[in-house]
Amino acid sequence: MVELVALTNKWLGPITVLAMRDQFDGDQIVLENALPFLLHGIYQRIRSQTYRAFNEHGLELTPEQWIVLARLWQRDGRTVSELSESTLRDKPTMSRILDSMEKSGLVTRAVDRADARSRIVSLTREGKALRKKLVPIAKSLVQRLEDGVPEEELLITRRTLRRLFENLA
């Protein structure tokens, strides 16, 4: 925190202002104020609650698999490389996710006719059908996450997070 004192004709007392760049105190790190720590905590909670919500609806599906499904619902028939890039996962991790999804009957992988080294990932009938069940669950989770946060703040938060993401590209 930063203490500011205003010079006026009338003494109002010290005014405390929260400072955003207060995650360091000398050579100490104040984790509770560190954006990476807060982002990690939010990610962990979202991941845990997403998994739990899917499980409560009888679905054995990880949040990572959910993201792959969401990308394939946007455009089916993507390469493994496209899925890796669009879900922010490396290729070995994506391959493990897809192995599990293939075993569960949610996706298939076929050789890309344009490039035999590449595989095209497509939704099965079951993978397509999950959309009607999963989207309402996701909407409910997002509503909980955004509860009490004004629209303007959500827009600023999204814009800021995108800028932070781009800064690290």
Please compute the mean of the pLDDT values over residues 85-96 and round it to a whole number: 97
pLDDT digits (tens, 9 = 90+) for 40-87: 999 999 999 999 999 999 999 999 999 999 999 999 999 999 999 999
* b (16+ CB within 10 A) / e for 22-60: ebeeeeeeeeebeeeeeeeeeeeeeeeebbebbeeeebe
Q: What is the pTM of this model?
A: 0.82
Whether residue 2 has pLDDT greater than 90: no
Residue 4 forms beta bridges with which residues?
15
Q: What is the pLDDT of residue 73?
A: 98
**Mean pLDDT, the chain, as a whole number?**
91
Confidence class of residue 15 from pLDDT cuts 50, 70 and 90? low
Q: Which domains does the chain have, with CATH numbers?
A: 2-135 (1.10.10.10)
**Angle (nearest 5°) at CA 35 between 96 and 31:** 100
78's CB contacts (< 8 A; 6+ apart) are: 71, 72, 86, 120, 121
**What distance in Å separates the CA atoms of residue 116 and residue 96, rounded to the nearest whole number?**
20
User: Residue 110: which of 119, 118, 101 has the closest Cα?
Assistant: 119
Please compute the mean of the pLDDT values over residues 8-14 and round it to a whole number: 58
Share of the chain above pLDDT 70, in %: 88
